[in-house]
Copies of this chain bind each other. A is one copy, B any other.
Amino acid sequence: MASARQDPLWLEVTRRIQTMMQEAAMVPSDRLPTETELVARFGVNRHTVRRAFKHLEEKGKIEARQGRGRFVRMPAIQYQIGARPRFSNILADQDLEPSAELLGIGVETAPEAIARALSLRTGSKVVHVERMGLASGNPVSLSSHYLPLGRFPRFIEYYERHHSITRTLQDCGVEDYVRRSTRVTSRLPTSRERSILGVPKHVPLIVTRSCNVDPRGWPIEYGEALMASDRIELEITSPLRSG
């Protein structure tokens, strides 16, 4: 679980700054606290704070302007839509500590749309996992995952051991899986979603629906993720290819 070696202090400060940005719900162009203020708040040397800021600047998250201060450039989190959907890795790349809280797990009859996405017959049973994704302790996403019970009859049992979909699938014999297609839409949150994600009424959710397939191209997971649009944005980088 915890790494044997301690993380450097400046990285810890980086995380605390990001957590602060999330908790204050800061949006692009908002002004960040000054160096000296954070020195006092975190009880570290000015160089340590500067190193943390520099790191955030290089990642494109903030922007420094001499004499004026530092300003938010991007939402706290960029969710990279790549071939491999790994919540933990995406957040770890941004020096955020990923975690997930299980909200519910059980077997259901697949709704028609989900049966179709997974190439199942109508009425087939699926495992439904609902989770809350957190970045450094702050809720950022609410996701539902559906997997064919027929193919993974012991999924729930294994999941309780790992608390990770990727590792549970490995136990079920799926070494790798990739995102096949993702559809993105948006809507306002329900009251339940607002209380779980802690978002104001007028902040829309970004909704992604994606289908993941195993190396042979078989659909093994259908997922729907809700993300607060004031804290997270999607990022799609096209692979370069000649036409």
Interface residues of A (CB under 8 A from B): 73-75, 78, 81-84, 113, 176, 178-188, 202, 204-206, 215, 217, 229, 233-243
A241 neighbours in B (Cβ, 8 Å): 83, 239
Identify the 7 closest CB pairs spanning chains A and B, nearest first: A204-B204, A184-B234, A186-B186, A186-B229, A185-B233, A186-B204, A182-B236
Docked Cα-Cα span, A236 to B187, in Å, equals: 18
Docked Cα-Cα span, A43 to B243, in Å, equals: 44
Q: How many copies does the complex hold?
A: 2
Say whether A237 contacts B185, CB under 8 Å: no
A82 neighbours in B (Cβ, 8 Å): 238
CB nearest to A227 among chain B residues:
B186
Docked Cα-Cα span, A74 to B185, in Å, equals: 10
Say whether B178 contacts A235, CB under 8 Å: no
A239 neighbours in B (Cβ, 8 Å): 83, 239, 241
- A176-B243, A204-B188, A204-B204 given; A181·B237 CB < 8 A: yes
CB nearest to A82 among chain B residues:
B238
Say whether B240 contacts A184, CB under 8 Å: no
Q: Which of B73, B182, B229, B240 contacts A185 (CB 8 A)?
A: B229
30 A–B contacts, CB within 8 A, in A order: A74-B183, A78-B183, A81-B238, A82-B238, A83-B239, A83-B241, A84-B243, A176-B243, A178-B240, A178-B243, A180-B238, A182-B237, A183-B233, A183-B235, A183-B236, A184-B184, A184-B233, A184-B234, A185-B233, A185-B234, A186-B186, A186-B205, A186-B206, A186-B229, A187-B204, A187-B229, A188-B202, A204-B204, A204-B229, A215-B242
